[in-house]
Amino acid sequence: MGLMGAGKSTVGRRVAERLSTTFGDIDAELAARYGPIEEQFRNQDLFRERERALVEEWARSEHPEVVACGGGSVLHPDARAAMRRSGVVVWLRAGPSILATRADPEGRPLLQHDDPSAVLGDLEQDRRAAYDEAAHVMVDAGRPIEEVVDEVMQACSG
């Protein structure tokens, strides 16, 4: 889990490959089921409810997999609890300026702003307590991808 641009999908896919397991992406699944995220996000309450329900659905899965959760997946207490019960929850964290260079604002309603870095900084501040509560471990995602993947692998094996 982590904010937009933290590398959840990229890191998740590589971790899944190393673990020889499947990879799932909450945002991609929501888009497949309900249409583009940008359109869904017009009704934030409905979007967050769908997101929470999908997190809980996947947390009940009986086979191991790596899941990239949407940045706001941690906002509901039931989703946080489901994540923690289902396996190792890794918070990929990077500074707002790094995230802003990585996160493409196209299709991301929260980044449709003059200063995406400021928006991301505000989002982290708003969500920090939820990320802290959900995470078993925090990994600095502002480094080269292979270093991040290595650290996530260590967290999953420890």
**pLDDT tens-digit series, residues 28-67:** 999 999 999 889 988 999 999 999 999 999 999 887 799 9
| Share above pLDDT 90 across residues of the chain, in percent, rounded to a whole number | 74
Q: Kindly report the backbone phi and psi dihedral angles of residue 127, in degrees, each rounded to the nearest multiple of 5, phi listed first.
A: -105, -5
Residue spans of alpha helices (H) in the chain: 8-19, 26-34, 37-40, 44-59, 77-86, 96-102, 116-134, 145-157
Fold category of 8-146 in CATH: Rossmann fold (3.40.50)
Tell me: the pLDDT tens digits for 82-116?
A: 999 999 999 999 999 999 888 876 767 677 777 88
The reported pTM is 0.91
pLDDT class for 17, splitting at 50, 70, 90?
A: very high
Determine contact, residues 147/141, Cβ cutoff 8 Å.
Answer: no
pLDDT of residue 156: 84
Task: Give the position of tokens 């959840």.
Answer: 8
Over residues 124-142, the mean pLDDT reads: 96
Q: Is the pLDDT of residue 9 over 80?
A: yes
Residue 92 has phi, psi (to 5 degrees) of: -85, 115
Radius of gyration of the chain (CA): 15
Nearest by Cα to 97 from 114, 115, 82: 115
- Mean pLDDT across the chain: 91
Separation of alpha carbons 52 and 57, rounded Å: 9
pLDDT band at 147 (very low <50, low <70, confident <90, very high): very high
Of residues 80, 68, 70, the one with CA closest to residue 129: 80
User: Which pLDDT value is given to residue 114?
Assistant: 77
Work out whether strand 65-68 and strand 90-93 pair parallel, antiparallel, or are unpaired: unpaired
